[in-house]
């Protein structure tokens, strides 16, 4: 009976799902998963992670999150994964993604460095303050997997698919379009979480028309409340350092207030 009701919700998406976690899980084609849907998303290892078309959505449907995420009220996590065997295989894929991205990021840095050295010697321009130019990159796997998962959450949304369709990567304009935070740069936990937050809010601009996306906001809220509790209430922390926040916002380069106003989300209003 429960199952039937669930799949009906699924089809019409008229009501929010009984458990929010159901709302987040989509199949690789972007449709919501049904309860007990065991679809194995085939993950093509050759795909660069930036490619959204065959994005491995199973990376984000794993169950191993901090407990605060799944059950704020108790210590027992809600099991959200198919089985431990495939969960661990997904972990491996996540690690591979990061390592591959890291290799290409290092290449990019190296090239940039060569170019900027050339320029400096010819024009004598001042040194860049960007730490990444000097090869300082985030290498802590724990941090990187956490960041990669946050990015996957954002990319594994209908809004992101719509965004990519509307604005292909090469047409993005700095300042005008949301840009995925760079997971390899050294940022404080707070700064990173805020960047992700701003990025996620900005992506809501590409939300599907309201009647279709009734429950689309829900997973987003859940995740935000999670990261808030994880960082010992990000809101209070942020309130204490307004300059920092403002800085990050301006780095983001888009109108946060506009996003907030468009987005009838009480948590961020």
Partner 1 sequence: MGEEYKIQVFDAETQNLLKTALKEPSSVDLEKVANVIVEQSLRDATFSREAGKMCYTIIQAEGKESGRSVFRSALLNRLQVEYRNREEMRARSVQEWVCYVSFICNIFDYLRINNMPMLALVNPVYDCLFQLAQPESLQREEEVDCLVLQLHKVGEQLEKMNAQRMDELFSLLRDSFLLQGGLGSLAQLLLLEMIEYRAAGWKMTDAAQKYYYSEVSD
Q: Comparing C-alpha atoms, which of 138, 152, 265, 129 is closest to residue 207? A: 265
Q: x/- string (CB under 8 A) for partner 1, residues 240-269?
A: ------------------------------
Half-sphere exposure of 218 (CA within 13 A, CB side): 16
**145 counts as binding partner 1 under rule CB under 8 A:** yes
Residue 210 near partner 1 by CB under 8 A: no
Contact 33, 23 (CB under 8 A): no
Q: Which is nearer to partner 1, 91 or 222 (CB)?
A: 91
Alpha carbon distances (Å) from 63 to 16, 40, 48, 78: 21, 15, 24, 8
Taking the alpha carbons at both ends of the chain, their separation in whole angstroms is: 38
Find the shortest distance in angstroms from Cβ 24 to partner 1.
18
Q: Does position 52 bind partner 1 by CB under 8 A?
A: no
Structural contact between residues 149 and 58, judged by C-beta atoms closer than 8 angstroms: no
State which H helix or E strand residue 90 sits in.
helix 84-123
Look at the alpha carbons of 193, 20, 93, 46 in this order and tell me if their dihedral is positive or negative.
negative
How many chain residues bind partner 1 (CB under 8 A)? 25
Q: Where in 56-115 is the site for partner 1 (CB under 8 A)?
A: 62-64, 66-68, 75-77, 81, 83-89, 91-92, 95, 99
Closest to partner 1 by CB, 82 or 197: 82
Residue 143 structure tokens: 């941090």
How many Å apart are CA 253 and CA 247, to the nearest integer? 10
Nearer CB in complex with partner 1: 59/259? 59
Minimum distance from CB of 62 to partner 1 (Å)?
Answer: 7
Q: Which two tokens stand for residue 75?
A: 């210590």
Pick from 141, 158, 167, 221 the residue near partner 1 by CB under 8 A: 141
* Shortest distance, position 145 Cβ to partner 1, whole Å: 8
**Which CB sits closer to partner 1, 99 or 251?**
99
Residues binding partner 1 (CB under 8 A)? 62-64, 66-68, 75-77, 81, 83-89, 91-92, 95, 99, 141-142, 145, 230
């Amino acid at each position: 009976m429960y199952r039937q009701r669930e799949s009906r919700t699924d089809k019409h998406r008229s009501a929010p799902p009984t458990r929010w976690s159901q709302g987040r899980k989509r199949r690789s084609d972007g449709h919501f998963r049904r309860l007990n849907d065991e679809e194995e998303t085939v993950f093509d290892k050759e795909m660069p992670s930036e490619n959204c078309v065959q994005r491995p959505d199973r990376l984000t449907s794993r169950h191993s999150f901090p407990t605060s995420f799944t059950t704020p009220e108790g210590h027992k996590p809600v099991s959200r994964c198919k089985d431990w065997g495939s969960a661990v295989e997904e972990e491996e894929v996540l690690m591979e993604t990061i390592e591959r991205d890291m290799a290409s990021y290092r290449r990019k840095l190296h090239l940039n460095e060569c170019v900027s050295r050339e320029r400096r010697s010819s024009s004598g321009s001042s040194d860049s303050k960007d730490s990444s130019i000097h090869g300082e990159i985030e290498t802590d796997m724990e941090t990187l997997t956490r960041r990669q998962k946050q990015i996957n959450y954002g990319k594994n949304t209908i809004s992101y698919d719509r965004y990519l369709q509307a604005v292909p990567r090469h047409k993005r304009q700095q300042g005008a379009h949301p840009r995925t935070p760079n997971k390899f740069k050294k940022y404080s936990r707070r700064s990173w979480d805020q960047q992700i937050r701003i990025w996620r809010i900005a992506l809501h601009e590409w939300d599907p028309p309201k009647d279709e996306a009734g429950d689309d906001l829900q997973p987003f809220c859940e995740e935000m409340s999670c990261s808030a509790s994880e960082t010992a209430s990000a809101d209070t922390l942020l309130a204490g350092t307004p300059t920092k926040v403002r800085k990050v916002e301006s780095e983001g380069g888009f109108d946060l207030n506009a996003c907030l106003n468009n987005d009838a989300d009480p948590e961020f209003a």
